[in-house]
Amino acid sequence: MGRRRRTALLGIGLAGIGLVAAGCGSDDFANDPRPPAPIELTAKIGEDQVLVSPTQLQGKPVGAGLASVTIANLTDEPTELTFSGPEDSTTDPIVANGVLDYKLDLRPGQYTVSAEDSTIRPMQFAVGPERPSAQNDLLLP
């Protein structure tokens, strides 16, 4: 047998062993699906009321999961915004006529969103079941 042929057979044999070894992986780790993609909400603190949008998507309440809320304080006083419901959360003070980006983990249930100033009417909205996994979604930065 020629030297080249032996080298080629040895290379093929080693490649085969490598493929067999690579196929012997463990099946005992959990391959959990990706969580839902964050939802983008906006909130406005006006002189007379608080508004959150959107509160419904395709005719259904927004789904539970991570929410990124952009809050605009359109009053002349700094204020905090409180989300009361299954998960209570209060923002840091939002400067007068300023904007704050806030992350919130929404759970299913009814929420009341209120400003620190008691003369501003609060808003209520419902959160539905958790949104579907973002497993096969292209997530852009």
Extents of the domains making up the chain: 39-130
For residues 73 and 97, the answer to whether their CB atoms sit within 8 Å is yes
Place of tokens 């292209």: 138
H helices then E strands: how many in the chain?
1, 9
| Token pair of 127 as six digits | 């959160």
Q: What is the pLDDT of residue 36?
A: 77
Predicted TM-score of the model (pTM) = 0.71
**Residue 41 pLDDT greater than 60, yes or no:** yes
Condensed to tens digits (0 to 9), the pLDDT of residues 4-26 reads: 766 766 667 666 666 565 555 55
| CA–CA dist 82, 36 (Å, integer) | 24
Collapsed DSSP state (helix, strand, coil) of residue 55: coil
Condensed to tens digits (0 to 9), the pLDDT of residues 71-122 reads: 999 999 999 999 999 989 999 999 999 999 999 999 999 999 999 888 999 9
Q: What is the pLDDT of residue 12?
A: 72
> Under CATH, domain 39-130 is a member of which superfamily?
Cupredoxins -  blue copper proteins (2.60.40.420)
